[in-house]
């Protein structure tokens, strides 16, 4: 079994992008990151897969453990 993960959803805000206004989803292992100074922070944005523009997260969903492929 693999580690638990989250489905994180965001919508692109770049009006020149093909994904504009359409939600996209990414799988993340954690919702927290660590800065180089060692301080933890919550992830609040995702990069659009089409244009790589940052978009605010609209939904976080815990999915539990994945089955091994």
Strand pairing of 40-42 and 45-47?
unpaired
- Which residue range(s) make up the domain with 20? 4-65
Q: How far is CA 69 from the centre of its chain?
A: 22
Q: What is the pLDDT of residues 13-41, one digit of tens each?
A: 999 999 898 999 999 888 899 999 999 99
Q: Closest by alpha carbon to 28, among 12, 51, 46? A: 46
CB 15 within 8 A of CB 37: no
pLDDT at 66: 60
Count of the separate structural domains present in the chain: 1
Give percent above pLDDT 70 in the chain. Answer: 90
Q: For residues 49 and 22, what is the distance between their CA atoms, to the nearest angstrom?
A: 12
pLDDT at 21: 87
pTM: 0.74
């Amino acid at each position: 079994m693999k580690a638990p993960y989250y489905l994180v959803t965001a919508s692109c805000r770049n009006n020149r992008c093909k994904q504009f206004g359409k939600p996209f989803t990414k799988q993340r292992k954690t919702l927290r990151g660590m800065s180089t100074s060692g301080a933890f922070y919550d992830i609040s944005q995702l990069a659009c897969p089409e244009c790589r523009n940052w978009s605010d997260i609209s939904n976080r969903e815990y999915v539990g453990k994945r089955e091994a492929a």
